[in-house]
Chains A and B, each alone.
Chain A
Amino acid sequence: MKRSSIIYTILCLLALSIVSCDKSDDPDDNDPDMVLIATAMTDAQTFQVALYANDTLFEGYNKLYISIKEASSTDQVTDAAIVLKPLMDMIDMVHAAPVENPAGVANEEGLFEAAVVFIMPSTDMMGWTLDVQVETADKDETAVFEIPLVRSLEESRKFNVISPLDETKYFVSLVEPMAAEVGINDCEFTVHYKESMMSFPPAEDLTIEIEPEMPSMDHGSPNNEHPVHTADGHYEGKVNFTMTGWWRIHMVIKKNGDVLTDDAYIDITLE
C-alpha cells in the first residue's frame, strides 16, 4: 500500500511538472484573449516588463496585465509594488489619465492586474507613454513604454461630463470586456474626475441611473438595476437586453441629488 501510494504521488508530481512545463510563460500563447501590447526593459536593465491587454488598447477603460521577469534569470517576479503613470504629451501641455495600480502580488498566472482609462485616443502626432515603476525588496526601477496605439472606438466606451455645478470634469467608462449577450448582464462603470492635469482620482459619491434603449426601435428593456458604488470609483449594476442588435445605455449621473448629466450614453452592439 505504502509503496503504491508513493509511486502514485511521484506519478502525480510528474504529471504536474509536465503540465507546467508545457505551459508557456507568455500569456498570449495560452490565452487567445490576451494581446501583447509592448515590452520594455527597466532603466537599470534588471527587469523585463511585458504589457498585455484583452484587446489592442482603446479610448476608455483598459484592463492591463503586466508580466515582470528578471532579465538575468527570466524568473517571474510575483511580488512587487507597481505604479503606473500614463502620460499624453500634447506639445503645449502634458496630462495623465486615471489608473488602477496593481495589488502588490501577481495573480495565479504571474501577472499583475492593473487598469488605465485612456481619456483620449492617440493620433499620428501625439501618443501615450506609460511608465511602469517596479519596486521590489531591493530594487526600484521604471520601464517606459511607448504605447503604439490607443484606438478611438466607433462605439464609444467612455464619455466625459463637465459638472454644471463646479466645472469638474468627470470620465465615465464602461468596464471592459463586458461580453454582453441577450439576457441579464452585469455592467460595471468607472468614474474618475480631473483634480489636476496629473491627478485623476476615482469619484465615489455619485448616483448613476441607467436605461437601455434600442434607438432604431424606440424600445427599452425592463428590470435593469442601477449601478451602485462598490469601491474605487467602480459602479456595478445590471442591464438587460431582450434581443441582439444595437443598444444604447442612457445614463443619468447625479451628485448629492444634483444632476451632472442626463443625456449621456454608451452604445453596445450585440452580434
Chain B
Amino acid sequence: MKNSGWIIILFCNLTLTQAQDLFTEFDTIRLEEFTITQRIPLNDQSVLDLSRSSRFSSIDKINGRLEGISLIKRGAYALEPQMDGFSGGQINVTVDGMRMFGACTDRMDPVTSYIEPDNLESFNITHGTSGSRNGNTVGGSFDMILREPVIGQTEGMLVETGLGYESVSNGINANGALEVNREKWAFRTSGTYRNHNSYRGGDGIKVPYSYFKKINLHSVVKYDLGKNNTLRFDFLLDDAVDVGYPALPMDVGKAKARMYAVEIERLDAYRTVSQLKAKLYFNSVYHLMDDSNRDSTFRLTDENGAPSDTVYMRMDMPGWSDTFGFFMEGGASLGEKSHIYVKLDDYLNYSRAYMTMFMNYPEYPGEPPMYTETWPDVFRNVAGIFIRNTTRVSNSVNVNLEGRLDMSQTRVTSETGHRQFAIFGYDIDRGYFELPKSLNLSANFRTNGVTRLDAGAGYAERLPTTSEQFGFFLYNALDGFDYLGNPEIGLERSTHFWGNLHFTWPELKVSIRNRFSYVSDYIIGLIDPEIPQMNLYASGVKRYDNIPAALLYGTSLQLQWDPGAYLTFYTLLRYTYGRTGEGDPLPLIPPLRNTSICKFRKGIFSVQMEGEFSSDQNRINSGFGENPTPAFAIYHLRNSFHWLVKETVIEVGAGIENIFDKAYSEHLDWGNFLRPGRSIYLNLRVII
C-alpha cells in the first residue's frame, strides 16, 4: 500500500481528474496505479488496477478488460475495440481529443494500435450517444489521454526502464522513459519496443502469422508561459513492421503513424471562465498490406491436383490517412449552480488507398498489373460545436444537457474514383454535405452516500465512414464478401437510454449498468447478387446500405469486495444483445462473459488469481461468416514484488497466463483461430 501511494506522489498525475469540474463525471480510467478511495463508486479503474497483467500489458489487453468494451481480433496485434456491439465508425476513438483515422481499408489498424499504454495517462470512456464531445457518435467515445510531465513544484528527473518476456510467443517487451521537471518547463519521452514471434495456441500448435514487431515513441515538452498559461508540444511515432494477421489473407508489411500537436492551455484564468484550451494537430498514417509471406493462399495445382509452388498473384495495397485539425474548449460557471462547457472543433481528413494486383499466371504470361482505387482520394472536413450545461438541482441531483452539431463535407477528388463509381450509377463529382447532430439529457441522483443512480436519454447521428461511403471492393475475410461503398448512404441514427445504479459501502461496491440503443438507418452490408465480386477469394459482393432498424442492449454487473486490508475480490459480468429490426442477430456480438479476480497483497508482495469465463455464443448471423463459439474458462496467476531501495523502485512481476493451456477463441476473433496457450511471463522494472 505504501509503495503504491509513493508511486502516486512520484507521478503527481492525479491533478487533472481531480481538478475536473465537480459536475462532470466521465468514466475516466487512469493507467497509473492508485488506490480507489472508498467514496468513489466502482468504475473501470478498479478493473484496470486489478487486472493489469503487468507493466507491459498491451493496450489491447487493457481494453479487453474494461466494462462495456470487447475486442475484435484479426491477429495478435491491433485489436479493434467494440463498445456494446458498436465498432468502427460507430464509435469515436480519439487521442487527447484529436481525431485520427486508420489507413487500412480492412480495419487492420484501429487508432488504438498506434498508442502504447506507456504513453497514456488515462482513458475517457463514454457510452452510447453521450460520447459526442469529440464528434457525433452512436456507440460511444474512447479518448486516450496522453501522458504529460508536470512543471515546477519539485524539480527533478526520472528515469524508468523495463524489460519483459512472454514465453508463448518468445516475445520481448522493453520500454524506457525519461522525465525532466523544472520550474518553467518539463519534458517527457517514453518509448516501447515489442518483438513477438508467432504464438502457440492451447493445442500446442503455432498460430501461423501471429508475429509482430513495433516501436513507439512519445515525446512531450511543456513550457510555462506565465499567468497560468502553458504551451505544450507532442510528438508521437509508431512503426510496426511484419505484423501477421492469421484471420486475413494478408499481413501488414509496415504500419506507420506520426502525430504532431501544439496546445495552449489557460487554467483558471478567471473565476467564471476556466480551463481554456486550444490545440492544433496533424497526424499521418501509412499502412501497407503485404501478402509476400502468404505463398500458400494462391498456390497453383499441377495435373494431379497437388499444389505446385507458383504463386500467381501478389497484391500491393497501400493506404494513407492524414488528419489535420484544431479545437478550442473552455468552461464557465453560470451562477453557483450551473456550469457550461463549449468546444469548437474542425478536422480535415484525407484518406486514399490503392490496390495493384500483379499476376504471374503461367497460362497468361506477361499480364499487365491490375490497378484500382479502393479509397479514391476522399477528403472530409467536419466542423462542429459541442455545448454542455450542467446544473446542480439540489445537493443530490445533477442534470446534464449536452448537444452537438457537426457540419460535414465529403468530396472524392480522384478522376478514376469518379469513373469507378459511375459504373454503379453514381455521379460522385460533387460534395456530400451532412449535418449530424446529437442531444443528450442525463441526471444523477445520490442518496445518503451509498446509492447513486445515473440515467439518461439521448439521440445522435453519425457519418458513414470512408469505406461505407466510398470503399471500392474491400474484401472482408470474415464473411468472404467484397464490400462496395454507397455514396448515397444516409446517416446512422440512434436513440439511446441508459441507467446505472451504484452502491458504495466501505467494503463492498456494486454497479449495475444498462444501456439500450434503438438504431435506425443502421449501416450494414447487404448482398447485391447483380454485382460480380472482384477479389479472387471473394464469394460475392455486399453493398453498404441503411437498414430500417437495429437494437443493441448491453448490461453489466460489477462487484468489488475488500474484506480486510489484504484481500480483494472483484467480478465483472457482462452481456450484450443485438438484433436487426427484423429479428436477425447482429454479427459480432459477444456472449455472456465474466472476469473474476482474487487478489492478496501484503507488504512488498502481491499475488492474484484470475478467471475468465465466457458462455457459448449461438446467436450468430451466418450471413456474416459467423460460427457458433463454444464456452471456455481460463485462469491466470500473477505475482509481483515491489522494493524501494533508497530512491530506486524495483518491481518484479512473474506469472502464468492461461494456466491450463486451454485451446479457445473468443466469439469476436475472426476465423476462430486460437488465442495464446499457456504463457509464462517475467518482468523487471526499475525507476530511478
> Is A56 an interface residue, CB under 8 A from the partner?
no
Q: Is the CB of B368 within 8 A of A269?
A: yes
Stretch at the interface among A62-70, A138-146, A237-245: A237-245
Task: Tell me whether A245 and B364 are in contact (CB under 8 A).
Answer: no
A217 to B419, CA, bound (A): 21
Which chain A positions have C-beta within 8 A of B531?
A: 222
In whole Å, how far is B154's beta carbon from the nearest beta carbon of chain A? 62
| Complex CA–CA separation, A182 to B571 (angstroms) | 57
User: Taking the complex as formed, is B370 at the interface, i.e. its CB lies under 8 A from any CB of chain A?
Assistant: yes
Instruction: Say yes or no: is A159 at the interface (Cβ < 8 Å to chain B).
Output: no
- Contact pattern, A 195-231, Cβ under 8 Å of B = 1, otherwise 0: 0000000000000000000111111111100000000
CB atoms of A181 and B534 under 8 A apart: no
Q: Which residues of A contact B530 (CB under 8 A)?
A: 222-223
Q: Per DSSP, are chain A's interface residues mostly helix, strand or loop, or mixed?
A: loop
Binding stretch for chain A, among B91-99, B168-176, B421-429, B453-461:
B421-429
Chain B contact residues: helix, strand, loop or mixed? loop
- A219 CA / B420 CA spacing, docked (Å): 16
Q: Contacts A183-B420, A217-B534, A222-B424; is A242 near B368 (CB within 8 Å)?
A: no
Residue on B with the closest CB to A154? B366
Contact A184 B419 (CB under 8 A): yes
Asked if A182 and B364 sit within 8 Å, CB to CB, the answer is no
Using Cβ atoms and an 8 Å threshold, which residues of chain B touch A245? 357, 359, 367-371
Contacting pair B368 A218 (CB below 8 A) = no
A271: Cβ under 8 A from any B Cβ:
yes
Q: A184-B422, A242-B423, A243-B534 are in contact. Are A216 and B367 (CB under 8 A)?
A: yes
Expressed in whole angstroms, the Cα–Cα distance for A241 and B373 within the complex equals 13
Given A242-B372, A243-B534, A245-B357, decide whether A221 and B423 contact each other with a Cβ distance below 8 A.
yes
Q: Which B-chain residue is minimally distant from A269 (CB atoms)?
A: B368
Task: Give the chain B neighbours of A184 by CB distance below 8 A.
Answer: 419, 422-423
* Contact A216 to B361, CB < 8 A, known contacts A183-B418, A183-B423, A222-B424: yes
How far is A181 from B371 in the complex, measured between Cα atoms in Å?
Answer: 11
Distance in Å from the Cβ of B375 to the closest Cβ of chain A? 14
Report how far A242 CA is from B370 CA in the complex, Å. Answer: 10
B128 CB → nearest A CB, Å:
38
Determine the residue in chain A with the shortest Cβ distance to B473. A242
Do the beta carbons of B422 and A183 come within 8 Å of each other?
Answer: yes
| B368: chain A residues within 8 A (beta carbon) | 244-246, 269-271
Q: Are A220 and B370 in contact (CB under 8 A)?
A: no
A216 touching B364, Cβ below 8 Å: yes
Compute how far the CA of A102 lies from the CA of B422 in the bound complex, rounded to whole angstroms. Answer: 35
In the docked arrangement, what's the CA distance between A271 and B356, Å?
12
Candidate in A214, A216, A241 with the most chain B CB atoms within 10 angstroms: A216
Q: Does B532 contact A (CB under 8 A)?
A: yes
Q: Given A182-B416, A245-B370, A246-B367, is A219 in contact with B532 using a C-beta cutoff of 8 Å?
A: yes
Contact A182 B425 (CB under 8 A): no
Interface residues of B in 356-408 (CB under 8 A from A): 357, 359, 361, 363-364, 367-372
* B residues less than 8 Å from A222 (CB atoms): 423-424, 530-532
B423 lies within 8 A of A244 (CB): no
Name which residue of chain A comes closest to B536, CB basis. Answer: A217
B370 is contacted by which of A217, A218, A223, A240 (Cβ under 8 Å)?
A217
Q: How far is the CA of A219 from the CA of B541 in the complex (A)?
A: 11
Q: Return B13 CB to nearest CB of chain A, in Å.
A: 51
A246 to B361, CA, bound (A): 12
CA–CA, A235 and B683, complex, Å: 75
How far apart are the CA atoms of A182 and B423 in the complex, in Å? Answer: 9
Contact A182 B533 (CB under 8 A): no
Contacts of A240 on B, CB cut-off 8 Å?
A: 423
Question: In whole angstroms, how far apart are the Cα atoms of A173 and B115 in the complex?
Answer: 59
Q: How far is the CA of A182 from the CA of B424 in the complex (A)?
A: 12
Please measure, in the bound complex, the distance between the C-alpha atom of A242 and the C-alpha atom of B533, giving whole angstroms: 11
**B532 and A182 contact, CB distance less than 8 A:** no
Chain B residues within an 8 Å CB radius of A241 = 423
**CB nearest to A183 among chain B residues:** B419
Chain A, Cβ-Cβ closest to B423: A240
Among residues of A, the one whose C-beta sits closest to the C-beta of B312 is A216
Given contacts A216-B367, A221-B423, A243 and B361 within 8 Å (CB-CB): no
- Inter-chain contact B536/A218, CB cutoff 8 Å: yes
Q: Which residues of B contact A269 (CB under 8 A)?
A: 368
Min distance, Cβ B5 to any Cβ of chain A, angstroms: 62
- Asked if residues B370 and A244 are in contact (CB atoms below 8 Å), the reply is yes
Taking CB atoms and an 8 Å cut-off, the chain A residues in 239-271 that contact chain B are 240-246, 269-271
Q: In the complex, are the beta carbons of B533 and A244 less than 8 A apart?
A: no
Within 17-76 of A, Cβ neighbours of B (below 8 Å) are at none
Asked whether, in the complex, the Cβ of B372 is within 8 Å of the Cβ of A243, the reply is yes
> Are B534 and A242 in contact, CB atoms less than 8 angstroms apart?
yes
- The chain A residue with its CB closest to the CB of B374 is A243
In the assembled complex, the Cα of A200 lies from the Cα of B361 at a distance in Å of 40
**Cβ–Cβ < 8 Å partners of A221 in chain B:** 423, 532
- Cα distance A260–B423 when bound, in Å? 29
Min Cβ gap B662→A in Å is 41
Q: Given the complex, which residues of B lie within 8 Å of A214, measured CB to CB?
A: 370
Question: Taking the nearest CB of chain A, how far is it from the CB of B398, in angstroms?
Answer: 55
Once the chains bind, are B367 and A223 in contact (CB under 8 Å)?
no
- CB pairs A–B below 8 angstroms (12 shown): A182-B372, A183-B416, A216-B363, A217-B359, A221-B423, A223-B423, A223-B425, A241-B423, A242-B372, A243-B357, A244-B368, A244-B372
With A184-B423, A220-B532, A223-B424 given, name 9 new contacts (CB 8 A).
A183-B418, A183-B422, A222-B532, A242-B473, A243-B357, A245-B369, A246-B370, A269-B368, A270-B368
Chain A interface residues (CB < 8 Å from chain B): 181-184, 214-223, 240-246, 269-271
